[in-house]
Each structure stands twice: as C-alpha cells, then as structure tokens.
Amino acid sequence: MAAMNASSSLGIARTTLIGAIGFMSSLGFAETLPNGIELPALWPPLRSAADVASMEPMPVPYLKLPPETVRVHAGRQLFVDDFLIAENSLTRTFHQPVYHPQCPVFQPETALEKTHAAAAAPFSDGVWYDSRESLFKMWYRAGSDHTCLAVSKDGVHWDRPELPLLPGTNAVLKGGRDAATVWLDHEAKNPEERFKMAVARTRKSPYHLAMRVSADGRSWSDERAVSGPSWDRSTIFWNPFRRVWVASVRGHDTLPPQPTHRLRNYHEGTTLESALAWTLNTDKVSSGAILAGDLQPWTAADKLDPRHPDPAYASITPQLYNLDAFPYESLLVGLFTIWQGPDNESCKKLNIHKRNEVFTGFSRDGFHWDRPDRSRFLPVGTSTRDWNAGNVQSVGGGCLVVGDQLYFYCSGRTKEPIDSTSTGLAILRRDGFASLDAGAASGSVTTRALQFSGGHLFVNAAVSGGELRAEVLDLQGKTIPGFTAEESEPVSTDSTKVEMQWRGRPDLSRLSEGAIRLRFHMRQGSLYAFWLTADARGASGGYVAAGGPDFENGVDATPVRPQQKQP
C-alpha cells in the first residue's frame, strides 16, 4: 500500500473511507471521556491536509460546545482554557519555567558522547522517575548514533552506570538511530515490558520506528514491531484518558505555497504495535491519500506562532518540527517544537544552529489542541555561547513532578567553544501553566456544572497578602446553605495544595449525587487549580506525567513516602 502512487491510492482511499464512515455511523456509538466530552462515532475526526496546512489555528470543538456537565472525578482541574468556566472576572496569566542555574545539567564527557557530533541529550527519548528503584532515569542520544542511560537521585546530578552492551560505557543501544521515545508503561501486564521504546532506526529516509521493550530500561529486547514509512523526529505517547497509544508522525505539506512545510500526522492503537501499524507513506497523506484507520493529517504550526526575531530570517514561515505529548492531571499537555529557520544549508554556511523552541498546547479530547499562549516555553539562549544557543528540543514523558515543582528537561545546542548538544532543566510551579489572578479589587470565577466524588475541595493558590474564599452553588445559581462565601474559611497562603473549608466542616460528599457549581472569590492572589477528592491528604487521582519521588504508577494517589524537600 505504501508504494501506491498518490492518484490511485486516493481513489481507493475515498471508497474505503466512505464505507468506513457509513459502517461506523450505523453503529451510532459515541465515546464519553472521563471529563464528560462526547466523541463522535468516527474518531479520530478527519482533517483535510488543506485545513492543517492553512496556517489557521486548529479549531477546538469542545471549547465551542462544552458538555452540559463537566466531570471532575479525578485530577487537578487547570485553568488553561475556559472549559471549566461559566463566568469570570479574573485575569488569566500564562507562565513559563525558569532554567536551572546549573544548566546544562548533563553534557558530553565520555568518548562515546564525543564521537562524531558531540552530544549527551535526549532527542525526545525520555526522562522518567522509576519508583521501583527510586531513581530518575534519562535515555539520551550519545554522540551521533548510540542510545545511553543516565541515572540520578535528585534529577539534577547524573551518573552513567556501566552496562554490558558496550563494556566500559552506559550504552543501551548501539548506533543507527535518529529520534526515539521511551515510555514507562505502568499498565504493562508483562513486567518485562514496563519500558517501551520507539526508535527511528535509520538516519536516512524513509525512516521507520522500531519498537523494543525492557524491564528496567537497561537491557532492551530485539525489535518487536516496525512502523510504516515515516520521517525523522516522529514520536509516540500514551493517552490514558482513551487508553490508546498515539504516534505523532512527521510529514510534509505538498500543497502550495509551502511544498516542504512540516506537519504532524496521527495514528492510534490500543497497543503500541497497532499504533505503529500504519501503511501510508507519511508524505502521501498531505496529497489526499487518506485511508480510514491509517495515517491522517493532524496539526501544524499556524499564523500565531512567532517568527525568528532576527530580521534577516523574519520572512521564514514557522513550521512544526515535533510534537511530544503527555498526560498531566486531567488533560494532555503538548510540547510543540516550532522551527523558525534558517534552513540546514544556510545554517551550515553561516555556522549557526537553526532556531527550534518549545511552546505549549493543551487537549481535553486527545486530538484537538488549544494553544492560547505563544510565549516561548523552553527558549533558546541570548548568546551564541549559551548551552542552548539553538535547536532546543522537548523530551519524552514531558515533565516530572518533584515536590511543588515540575521538572522539564530539554536539549540545546551551541557552537562555542565547540559544536555540542547538552541537556537542560527548566522548573515550573506545580500546575503552573496558567493562573487566574486578582489584584486589590476582589474578583471571582464560577465553574460550569460539575459532577464529582469525594468530600474534600483542594486548591493550588498563591494568595499571601490576599485571600481566597469558595462557595458552592446549585444548578440554579443559588448558594447551598453551609457552603456560602461568608462561611468559607479564607485561604491566605502560597501553597500548591491547601484544603478549602467552611465553618462547621460540612462534608461535600453529600452533594456528589447531583451536580454543583463552584465560585471562587479572590483578592490579591493567583488561583492555579482546584480538585475534589475523597483523600483527606489531597491526592487528586490525576496523572503525573513522567512521575516523581512521591508517586507510584504515574498517578497522584496517597503519597508513597513523606514529601521531602527537593534540591
């Protein structure tokens, strides 16, 4: 099938697609997500290549038509969009992490890492916390070809364990690779398959992603599955809200005026093997050769993405170089690596690195991305001597939850004193992607109708010098007795986890059989998230990305050990 020419495959594709739509529509089946969003029978939804390449921001249906009742049974609820909000007089602010002062926290030192092109950094790959060994683990590209493993107790200082594959080194795979993604599969039935890797096993097109598995990330199996044809920088992730693996596959727009414009194609499966089992060539998708159940156009850069700040390159249209995604609490976070130029040939002539920087997006249905903030989340440096002078790339797994902070790792490249690629660490407040803010004048935010379980309401808020109160409303907007703002005990602290309480300590769980609305009143402060839980200590039941020292199995359950102060 991959060898078909575009015109012949297009005719078959349309026939196959029409038949599939008719069959699926006849089922009348709509999937309901844990947050209450109803998905149509045909999912993922079809997007034309022209729509993806249009440079228009991706439409987000669930924001235009949210569910009548939002389900908030698990996970912290973040204010990154208006999905939760019915009324609001507060101001939304988006936040960016700050690079750790010791950056780069990992750089080329060994002979293996200095082979050909000096590199000691993930190219997606992955940084995860393995609670079974109480270790941070980082898989990364060493030199030009090898895949290695580093470990850490604190996520800042890293060691290279000696491994048997190449005696005297920490290599886990030998040569012949481009990008890779490592994922810790907490739901693997076979303990020998806890870690999964999808690695681009060649550095020449067409690329193919090869799947391997491992019990501990040190010793990896032979290839278990191989994808259809793709390009470099293709990655994978697990969407636990729909329980599917997703391949984020690089392709190219073949439509004018940008015939080589990078875009992302989408393919999912209930197993990683099935997620990799597409047949179409990734570049054929943009020419209209779409088969039901095969690769399809997904997303790209758009007109709101910033251009290169150097006037010499400002005319270059931004492109989506890579898209890594990960589950965080109650939604998916996307790390959009946006290329701003110049092209590889120009970079070579000018002895500079291309400008790739990481931006954020958010998805509540696993396919559509809302990208309300175009500030540089993981930016390049300001000097040619900076470790991240160019080509900043995101890491598989997204981030780790370390105490009250989120750890975002990334790679960056410099030309001085030598051309090399190192690993950086950026730190953000937990849940700190966006906040709703109030100044000296009090403001409020009221949620949509919520279905919930549990009797405890927690918030992540910074209100030192101000105050935050909460009230509970019925669906007619009337305050429920016992849960008024006047009876709410004010919060006047800065904490990523504090319980909202009312005088007399009424139990919210008695209201959980129906639906409620919450209204937060705030003065001089910031509100990042809220959540309703049965856990009196505040465990949200949400997903914690690549984990952290206080969690097992990728979920915020009752802490596995007393919270420790982080470095």
Q: What is the pLDDT of residues 219-239, one digit of tens each?
A: 999 999 999 998 889 999 999
The answer to whether residue 557 sits within a structural domain is: no
| Buried/exposed 178-192: b ≥16 CB within 10 Å, e otherwise | bbbbbbbbeeeeeee
* Residue 438, domain CATH: 2.60.120.260
Q: What is the per-residue pLDDT for 271?
A: 97
Q: What is the per-residue pLDDT for 506?
A: 83
- Between residues 275 and 201, which one has the greater pLDDT? 275
Of the three residues 387, 408, 429, the one that is the final residue of a domain is: 429
How far apart, in Å, are the Cα atoms of 559 and each of 180, 403, 541, 554?
31, 11, 11, 12
Q: Which residues pair with 213 in a beta bridge?
A: 196
Pick the range with the lowest mean pLDDT from 197-206, 265-274, 307-316, 491-500. Answer: 197-206
- 397 and 495 within one domain: no
d(CA 148, CA 108) in angstroms, rounded, equals 12
- 361 and 501 within one domain: no
Of the three residues 429, 460, 477, the one that is the final residue of a domain is: 429
Task: Provide the residue type at 108 as one letter.
Answer: P
Q: What is the per-residue pLDDT for 290?
A: 73
DSSP output for 371-387: ----S-SB---SSTTST
Of the three residues 429, 444, 473, the one that is the final residue of a domain is: 429
pLDDT digits (tens, 9 = 90+) for 400-455: 999 999 999 999 999 988 999 999 999 999 999 999 999 999 999 999 999 999 99
If phi > 0 it is left, if psi is from -120 to 50 it is alpha, else beta; for residue 293 that is left
The answer to whether residue 403 sits within a structural domain is: yes
pLDDT digits (tens, 9 = 90+) for 331-352: 999 999 999 999 989 998 988 8
pLDDT digits (tens, 9 = 90+) for 129-166: 999 999 999 999 999 889 999 999 999 999 999 999 99
pLDDT digits (tens, 9 = 90+) for 70-100: 999 999 999 999 999 999 999 999 999 999 9
**pLDDT exceeds 50 at position 382:** yes
The answer to whether residue 56 sits within a structural domain is: no
- 186 and 273 within one domain: yes
- Between residues 261 and 457, which one has the greater pLDDT? 457
How far apart, in Å, are the Cα atoms of 352 and each of 275, 283, 339, 342, 404?
37, 28, 14, 9, 37
Q: How many domains does the chain have?
A: 2
Task: Provide the residue type at 224 as one letter.
Answer: R
Average pLDDT of the residues in 390-401: 97
- 461 and 329 within one domain: no
Q: Which residues pair with 147 in a beta bridge?
A: 141, 173
d(CA 97, CA 253) in angstroms, rounded, equals 32
- Model confidence at 14, pLDDT cuts 50, 70, 90, reads very low
The answer to whether residue 323 sits within a structural domain is: yes
* Residue 386, domain CATH: 2.115.10.20
d(CA 235, CA 562) in angstroms, rounded, equals 35
Q: What is the per-residue pLDDT for 30?
A: 79
The answer to whether residue 184 sits within a structural domain is: yes
Mean residue pLDDT of the chain comes to 91
Q: CB–CB of 95/112 below 8 Å?
A: no
Q: What is the per-residue pLDDT for 293?
A: 82
- 442 and 311 within one domain: no
Pick the range with the lowest mean pLDDT from 9-18, 37-46, 268-277, 350-359. Answer: 9-18
- Model confidence at 108, pLDDT cuts 50, 70, 90, reads very high
pTM: 0.93
- Between residues 289 and 14, which one has the greater pLDDT? 289
Q: What is the per-residue pLDDT for 104?
A: 98
Most confident of 8-17, 92-101, 168-177: 92-101
- 441 and 383 within one domain: no
If phi > 0 it is left, if psi is from -120 to 50 it is alpha, else beta; for residue 547 that is left
Q: How many Å from the N-terminal Cα to the C-terminal Cα in the chain?
A: 53
The answer to whether residue 234 sits within a structural domain is: yes
Beta-carbon contacts of residue 182 (< 8 Å; ≥ 6 apart): 125, 126, 128, 139, 195, 196, 197, 217, 396, 397
Q: CB–CB of 227/208 below 8 Å?
A: yes
Burial of 269 (0-12, 13-18, 19+ CB in 10 A): middle
pLDDT digits (tens, 9 = 90+) for 251-302: 887 665 555 688 899 999 999 999 999 998 887 777 776 777 899 999 999 9
Closest listed residue to residue 37, CA positions, set 80, 85, 70: 70
- 498 and 349 within one domain: no
- 165 and 82 within one domain: no
- 425 and 459 within one domain: no
SS3 letters across 61-106: HHHHCCCCEEECCCCCEECCCCCCEEEECCEEEECCCEECCCCCCE
The answer to whether residue 131 sits within a structural domain is: yes
**pLDDT exceeds 50 at position 21:** no
- 414 and 474 within one domain: no
The answer to whether residue 41 sits within a structural domain is: no
Total Cβ atoms within 10 A of residue 430: 21
- 467 and 348 within one domain: no
Give the percent of the chain with pLDDT over 90. Answer: 79
Closest listed residue to residue 331, CA positions, set 186, 521, 540, 189: 540
Q: CB–CB of 453/532 below 8 Å?
A: yes
| Buried/exposed 323-361: b ≥16 CB within 10 Å, e otherwise | bbbbbbbbbbbbbbbbbbbbeeeebeeeebbbbbbbbbb
- 201 and 183 within one domain: yes
DSSP output for 274-331: HHT---S-TTTGGGT---TTS-EEEE---TTSPPPSSGGGTTSPPEEEEEEEEEEETE
d(CA 318, CA 466) in angstroms, rounded, equals 42
Burial of 89 (0-12, 13-18, 19+ CB in 10 A): middle
**pLDDT exceeds 70 at position 390:** yes
Per the structure, the complete domain to which residue 472 belongs is given by 72-94+434-533
